[in-house]
């Protein structure tokens, strides 16, 4: 089976969907009887790019400012997609919201419905394009993959599609997310002025849906001595409407107890996750919540909200709080700092829960979905 996978997103710094495409593509290489071709937006390749194409990040502001930019880019990509298919393709897999036109079987991955629940987290031009294209993409796809049962259920309800069109393929954690001994981390963490187990970590793009303001407020309520001993680190790119965080973030940064790290290379992020006392993930909506799984696989306890798909991922290993409960989050953070017995129990529960997920399993389910779409 010859499969075309749209891998254009790999030109950008790899956040959630980019990690999905990269890890899934690597895992699919081990599936027998499957030949994968990657479309990079302007051409084709059989290999994953090692890093983001320089200058890609300058494209998004341009897309927001220029009228019709999304439509123009799509027209160009469609032409490249059609012209560059030198070999025949049996099936096309679109890992994001709007498939290109293809005259054969299409599989689409729907990661979440963020644009419905939090439309203000999308630039207006992008939101308009999602609303214009998503329905047609859902109709085009013979099989719709989702990362969680939660997303499959809400998509079935919203679009009125039959259950057998959906296949749930949970994500996995990359091998770099694994438990590490303090001695393995000390040297690299020392460069950041950190010690293993001596900080709390948030991972996520700075945008309203991630609810990072709650983490900042809860951390500010910890005793002064604990804030000094366990600073709060935030790793992630600037997102849409980041400006709403400016006041609270500036106060937190000025206190010296919060550090904004920005986007980090894969290995650096994996080290920070493994070395954290806990991952604090108060998101209001996730189609999966990959940082939660990555933290558990690293032996790092997680504090998270009981929202959307996240309980499917964390299961009994999660320390759950309400999305608006700043005092509940403060208590959960405090307990993981002060109660070593509770911390160890959460660590072991997280490691056990993480074994239920893998990219190999995701690839096997995806390959079966391909065969289903082909009618086999």
Rounded to an integer, what distance in angstroms lies between the CA atom of residue 95 and that of residue 7? 8
List the domain range (segments joined by +) for residue 191.
182-354
Residue at 177 is within a domain:
no
Q: Would you place residue 14 in the very low, low, confident or very high pLDDT band (cuts 50, 70, 90)?
A: confident
More confident residue, 308 or 240: 308
Same domain, 220 and 255: yes
Residues 193 and 292 in one domain: yes
Choice among 171-180, 190-199, 240-249 with the minimum mean pLDDT: 240-249
Residue 276, in any domain of the structure: yes
Long-range pairs for 183-190: beta carbons < 8 A, 24 or more residues apart: 185/271, 185/274, 185/275, 188/268, 188/271, 189/271, 189/272, 189/275
* Together in a domain, 18 and 96: yes
Query: Closest by alpha carbon to 120, among 60, 207, 206?
Result: 207
Tell me what pLDDT residue 328 has: 98
- 208-217, 227-236, 277-286, 355-364: least confidently modelled range: 208-217
Please indicate, yes or no, if residue 231 is contained in any of the structural domains.
Answer: yes
What H or E segment, with its residue span, contains residue 48?
none
Show the beta-strand stretches assigned E in the chain.
2-6, 35-39, 44-45, 91-94, 106-110, 143-146, 166-168, 200-203, 232-235, 258-262, 278-281, 302-305, 319-321
- pLDDT for residue 54: 42
Question: Are 55 and 194 contained in the same domain?
Answer: no
CATH assignment at residue 74: 3.40.50.2000
Do 296 and 302 meet the contact criterion of CB atoms below 8 Å apart? yes
Could you report the per-residue pLDDT of 102-134, keeping only the tens digit for each? 999 999 999 999 988 888 777 787 788 888 889
Q: Could you tell me which residue, 204 or 297, shows the higher pLDDT?
A: 297
Domain check: are 34 and 163 in the same one?
yes
Residues 44-83: tens digit of each pLDDT = 888 887 655 444 444 455 455 566 777 788 888 888 898 8
* pLDDT tens digits, one per residue of 360-375: 999 999 999 999 999 9
Q: How far apart are CA 270 and CA 272, in angstroms?
A: 5
Regarding whether 186 and 227 lie in a shared domain, the answer is yes
State yes or no: pLDDT of 209 exceeds 90: no
Residues 193 and 84 placed together within one structural domain of the fold: no
Helix (H, G, I), strand (E, B) or coil at 235: strand
Residues 344 and 197 in one domain: yes
pLDDT at 51: 56
Rounded Cα–Cα distance for residues 100 and 265 (Å) = 30
Say if 280 falls within a structural domain: yes
For the cut 90, the answer to whether the pLDDT of residue 175 exceeds it is: yes
Q: How many domains does the chain have?
A: 2
- Regarding whether 234 and 97 lie in a shared domain, the answer is no
Q: What is the pLDDT of residue 55?
A: 44
What integer pLDDT is reported at residue 268 of this predicted model?
95
Among 38-42, 141-145, 146-150, 306-310, the least confident range? 38-42
Cβ pair 350, 317 in contact under 8 A: yes
State the Cα–Cα distance between residues 324 and 128, nearest whole angstrom: 29
Residue 164 lies in a domain: yes
Residue with tokens 């998101």: 283
Would you give the DSSP letter of residue 101? P
Same domain, 309 and 369: no
My answer on whether 203 and 338 are in the same domain is: yes
pTM over 0.85, yes/no = yes
CA gap 227, 334 in Å, rounded: 10
Q: Is 24:359 a contact under the CB 8 Å cutoff?
A: yes
176: number of Cβ within 10 Å: 16
Q: In what order do the strands lie in the sheet with 302-305?
A: 258-262, 232-235, 200-203, 278-281, 302-305, 319-321
Q: At what angle do helices 326-338 and 212-220 cross, to 10 degrees?
A: 60
Q: pLDDT tens-digit profile of 304-345?
A: 999 999 999 999 999 999 999 999 999 999 999 999 999 999
Do 252 and 132 reside in the same domain of the chain?
no
Mean pLDDT of the chain: 89
């Amino acid at each position: 089976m010859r499969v075309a996978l749209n891998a254009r997103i790999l030109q950008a710094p790899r956040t959630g969907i980019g990690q999905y495409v990269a890890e899934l593509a690597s895992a699919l290489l081990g599936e027998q009887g499957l030949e994968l071709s990657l479309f990079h937006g302007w051409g084709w390749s059989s290999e994953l790019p090692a890093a983001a194409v320089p200058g890609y990040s300058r494209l998004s502001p341009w897309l927001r400012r220029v009228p019709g930019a999304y439509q123009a880019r799509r027209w160009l990509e469609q032409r490249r997609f059609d012209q560059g298919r030198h070999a025949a393709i049996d099936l096309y897999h679109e890992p994001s919201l709007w498939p290109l036109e293809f005259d054969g079987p299409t599989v689409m991955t729907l990661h979440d419905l963020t644009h419905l629940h939090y439309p203000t987290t999308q630039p207006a031009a992008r939101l308009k394009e999602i609303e214009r294209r998503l329905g047609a993409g859902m109709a085009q796809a013979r099989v719709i993959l989702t990362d969680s049962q939660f997303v499959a259920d809400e998509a079935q309800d919203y679009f009125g599609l039959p259950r057998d069109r959906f296949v749930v393929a949970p994500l996995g954690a990359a091998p770099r997310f694994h438990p590490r001994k303090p001695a393995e981390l000390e040297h690299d963490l020392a460069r950041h002025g950190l010690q293993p187990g001596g900080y709390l970590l948030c991972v996520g793009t700075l945008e309203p849906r991630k609810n990072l303001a709650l983490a900042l407020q809860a951390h500010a309520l910890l005793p002064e001595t604990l804030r000094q001993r366990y600073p709060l680190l935030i790793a992630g790119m600037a997102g849409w409407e980041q400006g709403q965080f400016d006041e609270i973030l500036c106060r937190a940064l000025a206190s010296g107890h919060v550090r904004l790290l920005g986007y980090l290379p894969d290995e650096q992020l994996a080290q920070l996750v493994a070395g954290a006392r806990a991952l604090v993930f108060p998101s209001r909506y996730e189609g999966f919540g990959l940082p939660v799984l990555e933290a558990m696989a690293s032996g790092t306890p997680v504090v998270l909200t009981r929202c959307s798909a996240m309980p499917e991922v964390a299961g009994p290993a999660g320390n759950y709080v309400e999305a608006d409960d700043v005092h509940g989050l403060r208590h959960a953070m405090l307990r993981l700092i002060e109660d070593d017995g509770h911390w160890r129990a959460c660590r072991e529960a997280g490691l056990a829960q993480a074994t239920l997920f893998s990219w190999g399993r995701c690839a096997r389910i995806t390959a079966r979905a391909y065969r289903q779409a082909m009618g086999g």
